[in-house]
Structure 1
């Protein structure tokens, strides 16, 4: 059972009325096919997210199938959320791996409904801005519960299934209680007038009270009256909002490294970060970054809960103001450049580990001073894949940041490792945007080979979304650029790859005649430059195309060649896929006895790689073969095994 709610905060006060209303609504809910929605709204800093977590913790026993959490601000780009990616994150929590995710919003929605039908889940949606962002994420079960946190009310949620729970700032009595829980300090009794002033400055916001309490702990000898006089003077002189004075007090208590990191965090290309990412931004080594993070967390200026650290929205805006007043453009640009180059280097290292040696255009990025490299666990490909997925928001953000900084070579270079990530984790919307930016960067960098590569990659994103005309346009432009390249081996490989992409697009459209012609052309091009792997891949793809056209004898010959060549070169994945395709050809020729061991080999290879997608596909085909041979019991067993994988991995019901 998945559970995605962080540990309980140390101190929580008030909100009894809101909790009672929520619990009453849950106990009285009679929805048949639509989940109950608890809609929490209020100003930033009022504790909406913490109350949402508290409700989820308390109610989790009523919803035994799990507690899911999605923070829409993590997925927000230029103010908008790509709902398809939000669904992908929820499906991933439901054990649907990237390869099994459907591509379009419509199909992914159906997959999510199928996965949540009849289940008792809590889905916690944080930082929603509109009902349109929430409605597609509602599970397809009236036995589930949705908890939404937003700054303002979401009027378009259906009133029959939504209970609005607006949160006001804390009353003075509750604010005082929270402050006493945070800091056990005699000054709270000795200086009641100063305490009243402190409450006024914090405006009843739990987030501000938390910082104020932590700040008091760090300055136990300073009278509160003196502190308030300083804050009031600052408020009068500088016209800051009341809560700004509390943030400023915490900021002024920081040492040099912590204050610098606080000013730089708004530049970070993702919504949350690790200690390694903080070290890249700071540029003063891992130890300095760790100390700075500890200081910021102690001062209440970071939210350290969860595996990644984040800067809440209110504090992000404050940190940006501090950066404008206390920092300088050179400081900011150096940090942003360092972060982009650090992410490029780590992504290239992960790409090499995940995909192995392959044709890449960008030169390897060198070490970044003051920013140590990531250690990829045991150095397995799966470690690299996990890192790429965990850092995907920062990687895509780095593409946009690089373009804004004029780092054009770094911008398009990031597109190469993002391609490796996309093949296993197809987040289409953000990948399409990043590849589009990479194309712009390649143009500005006047780098035709990079332009060919990026346009080809974007074409695949388009055709996987069913946008065939857009894909064709990208490949047409890629081919026109490729025609201008030189006669070197790398450039000829690139030109041949565009033809391969075009052939795959033809196949996706069902035009196998054109696909076969393209694969044959690409194969000849690879043979002319003695590119053995290119010839192997072209042989396999041409064999598949000819099989689709019914030219079984020629398809058999090519697929057998591809299988033997792949086995000879240790290319296990291509060997297994060629074996599977060859088995299908032999089956259609009525040669079931020869097809059976090929299906078994393909099945064993898929299982050895942990490739569930391929395993299920082979099981289905193998079951059809057994059925044709009159082995009904075996066929049923094979289909049941395939169905079990599909259900486990979240394939939508067909």
Structure 2
């Protein structure tokens, strides 16, 4: 059962930032202390990608530096936007400048690809700020859910720091604005589009033009690193003119020539001129020469490398790891790189097999049919082919063992896939990419929450290859977070290409959504998954999407929407004759009513769940229903009733091996005894619960236990112990992201009401 933790939601009607005092009559001295200034993170982030060689951008670098000095002398934040044609070198210029500033900005470098050209759409500013906050040392649980709150926290943290921020490939001023840190930092935005909207934010714009002929010839000479440019100066000038001064095109042409040291520049000039008509399919702002250079480079690739290049063009994300390259070249029953036959005469791969299980039914089973990509036959050859693509300047490094296409190159590769691969080969390769992400996400799901993985995972004909993300649940969550943009792109693509993967991938992302609160993606993934399940007519999958998605809606405070989703799942379970699934929705619906303040209705649903679930085979979920009943009874100030339910819940959950929820039941039982003026019995339950919850690093429930122990200390007239427990509880409420919850507000109020410590 998921979503049973009864944390309160933020019920404040407004938010105050900074110190504030509201009082009618005040006697005695008043002391107001502002929050301390933000501190640099203990390990500053250095996220900028490596700088690459640039040629004669002296004027632009000087312009950027003069703007920085002017803003810095005035004590202002420096904001510059570098815009220009794709491939003109905007990012290279920004990196060359920002890397040179490292000594003057010791608090770190932040980098984000805002994905204006991403097939999955531009990056969400809230997600980007969440990554920045975690890089600056904010625990994941303390990152607020909403964009406005995230942006406010980000500005507060950065206000006293000297940071360098690069926002690469921005789509609009509106996307950029929440990401501006303020303070003494420097922010550089790159975009294909001019951004006059940022002028109101004090932005200075730099329009980057293609290189002049002389500068482009210098870049060509640096790329070749031999004497051909000096020996054929006119041909070199003709070549860079055909490249339109775009650094990308010049580098690709130079790489081709470098691979053929005996070839004269004249030969390439002739070839580019002859192939000019082939550029029309990739025309960008009237410039066709990039396509010609890419075509020529592609033609000189070894056949295996050319095949890898065009199949990687099918990848739906902007970057990928080694495992994707190994997966796209794999074939059922063959080594990597082997040829494949069409799966059938329709030009499409076989449909996924059946096997969908009902919501939560069955025991969890470990992921199957997947193997680490590094162990696949031919993996070494695939990695060697990747190196060839890097040497040809068709790929760039995104990170260690991660790769990125320039967006024009990716489009070129995708076009070559359509041109040179039969439909069934493209469909099979795309399915292997999707299977790779589904299988690896499932491995991560299993590592974090093995109890959740009870639904089917259907793969294509294989082989199914996974990425290795390291041991432990945090490494698994980190992998899911890093790959989230690509996983969402696979989800959306799968809606029409392979809908089974769409809902199964949404299901596999449950641990990430639950623990790191990507609420926008949580909703979008389950909406896509629900639509895919509806298209398949898979009612069990529909119910899973409704219940898991409804829990996400509870987290965002959309309690009515969550209730509608739970009610719809209940109707479907009833129509399918699934008594177990229907009984489980009783708990979900009770939670929604409880969050809506309808305690009588919540109690009715929890009572029905407690009675029905053991009879349909889920004794543990029945215990959770009893736990929820105890919580409601305490809220209604019925401690005897609460003690009865908590005792029954504790017994059931302990016997089921659920130590976490058994400890939660002990806390409720302790609180019930305290309400009945039985402090010794209260302590007998609270103390061991605290020990158990501390061991599980359960921040929120540990905070609630300390809160109860603080009230117990107050009952015993021990303000020093109460103060200590309240202080720690408030710290843990913040760690768990519940600093503004009703529980935290109550603890803060009671702490403030305690008598002060004795003087001296």
The answer to whether the aligner puts 1:450 opposite 2:541 as a matched pair is yes
How far the C-alpha of 1:602 sits from its partner, in A, is 4.1
CA distance in 1 between counterparts of 2:176 and 2:453 reads: 42
Range moving further from structure 2, 640-649 or 65-74: 640-649
* CA shift digits 1:402-454 (9 cap, x unpaired): 2221x232322222212222111221222212211111111121111111111
Q: Find the partner of 1:342 among 431, 436, 441.
A: 436
Distance verdict in 2 for CA 1:592–1:217, change over 3 Å: farther
**Cα gap change, 1:7 to 1:136, in 2 (>3 Å):** closer
1:250 counterpart residue number? 297
Separation in 2, partners of 1:638, 1:93 = 30
Rounded Cα–Cα distance in structure 1 between residues aligned with 2:72 and 2:206: 19
Indicate the larger mover: 232-241 or 221-230: 232-241
Aligned residue number for residue 580 of structure 1: 667
Q: How many Å separate the matches in 2 of 1:244 and 1:427? A: 38
Distance 1:421 1:293 in 2: 30
Give the equivalent residue in structure 1 for 2:408. Answer: 314
Is the Cα–Cα contact under 8 Å of residues 75 and 86 in structure 1 kept in the other structure?
A: no
Going from structure 1 to structure 2, the CA distance change for 1:288 and 1:618 (only over 3 Å counts) comes to farther
1:627: Cα distance to partner? 4.8
- Correspondence for 1:419 among 510, 515, 518: 510
Contact 2:570 2:581 in 1 (8 A): no
Partner of 2:553: 462
Deviation at 1:635, TM superposition (A): 4.0
Moved more, 438-447 or 551-560: 551-560
* Aligned-partner Cα distance in 2 for 1:570–1:166: 64
Query: What SS does structure 1 have at the residue aligned with 2:532?
Result: helix
Quick one: distance in 1 between partners of 2:733 and 2:461?
Answer: 43
Cα pair 1:342 1:368 within 8 Å, conserved: no
What is the DSSP-based 3-state SS (H/G/I as helix, E as strand, rest coil) of the residue aligned with 2:309? Answer: helix
8 Å contact kept, 1:74–1:393: no
Measured in 2, the distance between the counterparts of 1:64 and 1:594 equals 54
**For residues 379-528 of structure 1, what are the structure 2 equivalents within 5 Å?**
380-405=472-497, 407-486=498-577, 491-528=578-615
Larger displacement relative to structure 2 (227-236 or 202-211): 202-211
1:120 aligns with 2:138: no
CA contact (8 A) 1:453 1:494 kept: no
- Give the CA deviation at 1:225: 0.7
Inter-CA distance 628–131: structure 2 relative to 1 (3 Å threshold)? farther
Aligned mates of 1:650, 1:555 — CA distance in 2: 27
* Gaps in structure 2 of 5+ consecutive residues: 1-42, 331-335, 337-377, 746-760
Match of 1:70 in 2: 112
Superposition pairs for residues 38-437 of structure 1, below 5 Å? 38-73=80-115, 79-139=121-181, 141-159=182-200, 161-236=202-277, 241-283=288-330, 284=336, 285-307=378-400, 308-358=402-452, 360-363=454-457, 365=459, 368-369=462-463, 371-378=464-471, 380-405=472-497, 407-437=498-528
> What is the rounded CA distance, in whole Å, between the counterparts of 1:477 and 1:29 in structure 2?
57
Distance, in Å, in 2 between the alignment partners of 1:600 and 1:180 is 74
Report which of the two structures shows the higher radius of gyration computed on alpha carbons. Answer: 2
Q: Any conservation in 1 of the 2:469–2:476 contact (CA below 8 Å)? A: yes
1:106-143 Cα shifts (integer Å, max 9, x gaps): 3333333343343333232111111100111122x422
State how far apart, in whole Å, the 2-side matches of 1:125 and 1:44 are: 16
- Further displaced range: 459-468 or 39-48: 459-468
Is 1:87–1:109's contact at 8 Å kept on the other side of the alignment?
A: yes
Q: Counterparts of 1:150 and 1:74 in 2: how far apart (Å)?
A: 8
Do the aligned residues in 2 keep the contact of 1:74 with 1:270 (CA within 8 Å)?
no
**Pair 430,33 (structure 1): closer, same or farther in 2 beyond 3 Å:** farther
Equivalent position of 1:547 in the other structure:
634
Uncovered stretches (5+) of structure 1, i.e. residues with no partner: none
Aligned residue pairs total: 646
Q: Provide the C-alpha distance between the structure 2 equivalents of 1:271 and 1:652, rounded to a whole number of angstroms.
A: 36
- For residue 312 of structure 1, report the CA deviation from its aligned partner: 1.6
Aligned partner of residue 2 in structure 1, secondary structure: coil
Q: Give the drift of 1:525.
A: 1.9
SS of structure 2 residue aligned to 1:147: strand
Change (3 A) 1:23 1:652: farther
- In structure 2, the CA distance between the partners of 1:229 and 1:420, relative to structure 1 (3 Å rule), is same
- Between the aligned partners of 1:60 and 1:122, the Cα distance in structure 2 is 8
Query: TM-score, normalization: structure 1?
Result: 0.91
- Distance in structure 1 (CA, Å) of the matches to 2:573 and 2:232: 76
More off after superposition, 613-622 vs 45-54? 613-622
State the TM-score, normalizing by the size of structure 2: 0.79
In 1, distance between residues paired with 2:717 and 2:61?
A: 62
Pick closer, same or farther for the CA change 1:57–1:376 going to 2, 3 Å: closer
Following the alignment from structure 2 to structure 1, what is the Cα–Cα distance between the partners of residues 431 and 736?
Answer: 40
Q: How far apart, in 2, do the equivalents of 1:287 and 1:398 lie?
A: 26
Please, which moves more after superposition, 351-360 or 501-510? 351-360
Alpha-carbon deviation of 1:543?
A: 1.7
State the distance in 2 between where 1:209 and 1:599 align.
Answer: 70
More helix by share: 1
**Aligned-partner Cα distance in 1 for 2:116–2:193:** 18
SS in 1 for 2:169: strand
Q: 1:180 to 1:389 in 2, by over 3 A?
A: same
Relative to 1, partners in 2 of residues 1:550 and 1:159: Cα closer, same or farther, differing over 3 Å?
same
What RMSD in Å do the two structures reach over aligned CA positions? 2.9
**Equivalent pair of 1:35/1:138 in contact (CA under 8 Å):** no
Partner of 1:18: 60
Aligned to 2:361: none
**Segment drifting more, 601-610 vs 452-461:** 601-610
Label 1:567 to 1:14 Cα distance change in 2 as closer, same or farther (>3 A). Answer: farther
1:563–1:579 CA contact under 8 A, matched in 2: yes
